[in-house]
Structure 1
Amino acid sequence: MAWRKSRQTSTPTRRPARHGRHGREGRSPVVRPPLPPLETRAERFDLAVGTAAEFLRSAWPELRDVSFEVGDMPAASDEDGIPRWTTLAAEKRIILYRLPIERLSHLHRNDELHRRMMIESCVFRAAAEYLGRDPWDLGPERFRF
């Protein structure tokens, strides 16, 4: 018995591209596709403090060795209420407390720009307290429009 090729003109059916060679769906990638980075309030706060601190360090040589740090809450409240920052001149540190600044500040308008301006103003006031100056003396050209 001789073997013959069949003369069918139909083309073989192809599986969809999502199936593997065994007919199963392909596995999902281990790493998801690149998504925009998630930005939390804490990260936005750190960015605002960092940019204001870099501006102050470049403008005032006295602040170049000062460490600007971010803390969540102060250890205790004082007679004036909950402090927004602590300046430690002996240790060359300025600690800004994120939660009191974010939650106890009264904003003129509740949007991203005004929140950032509030954070930067706290950085300026803390640096002015550290230097023993008026906050407006630290960056007068920054506030002229």
Structure 2
Amino acid sequence: MPGRARARRSRHGRELRSSVAGPVLPYLSSRETRFEDVAADAADYVQSLWPDELGDVDFLWADMPPGILADEVVEVPDFAVDPHRRSITVFRLPLQRLPRVHVDDAWHRQIAIEGAVFRAAGELLGRDPWEVAPDRWRHH
């Protein structure tokens, strides 16, 4: 009716609905999102330690390095550094599927991802990784 204000409701007269997961269920987490979270936290940390040297560096994530064929027997790199573009690319699958850890648990896999970020930053800066993030290496 033109002169009458109508109440705003969702379809079928119901109130707005909550999220699909609801307040009780945890958010879905995948290996990819966990990798991105750990790598992004490590990148933020190292950029906060070296703001003048790494402030303009782009940290990127990719599944695999380009050009790696399945039939080749090569060592797959964990990261790639491009000093001209000022970018660091960390590769997810080598770190998650081929981890070089002595204990295969979540904490050691996290340390492997963080270590790749620190080693890549060290390579870009021309420093050793333990100089780039000395506090993170103290207990390992």
Q: Is the structural similarity TM-score above 0.5?
A: yes
Please state if 1:62 is matched with 2:56. Answer: no
For the residue of structure 2 that corresponds to 1:108, the secondary structure is coil
Tell which structure's C-alpha radius of gyration is larger: 1
Please state if 1:105 is matched with 2:95. Answer: no
Aligned counterpart, 2:5? none
Please, what TM-score do these two structures have when normalized by structure 1? 0.73
Aligned counterpart, 1:129? 123
Aligned counterpart, 1:75? 66
In 2, are the aligned partners of 1:56 and 1:138 still within 8 Å (CA)? yes
Structure-2 change in CA distance of 1:32 and 1:111 (3 Å): same
> Which stretches in structure 2 are left out of the alignment for 5+ residues?
1-16
Aligned counterpart, 1:25? none
What is the distance in 2 between the residues matched to 1:108 and 1:52?
Answer: 21
Structure-2 change in CA distance of 1:138 and 1:79 (3 Å): farther
In 2, are the aligned partners of 1:68 and 1:93 still within 8 Å (CA)? yes
Alignment of 1:7-86 (within 5 A): 32-34=20-22, 35-60=25-50, 61-77=52-68, 81-86=75-80
Deviations, residues 56-112 of structure 1 (Å, cap 9, x unaligned): 101012111101110011112499622211111111110011001111223221211
Report runs of 4+ in structure 1 exceeding 2 Å deviation.
29-33, 77-81, 141-145
Single out whichever of 33-42 and 116-125 deviates more from structure 2: 33-42
CA RMSD between the two structures? 2.1
Instruction: Number of aligned residue pairs: give it.
Output: 117
For the residue of structure 1 that corresponds to 2:67, the secondary structure is coil
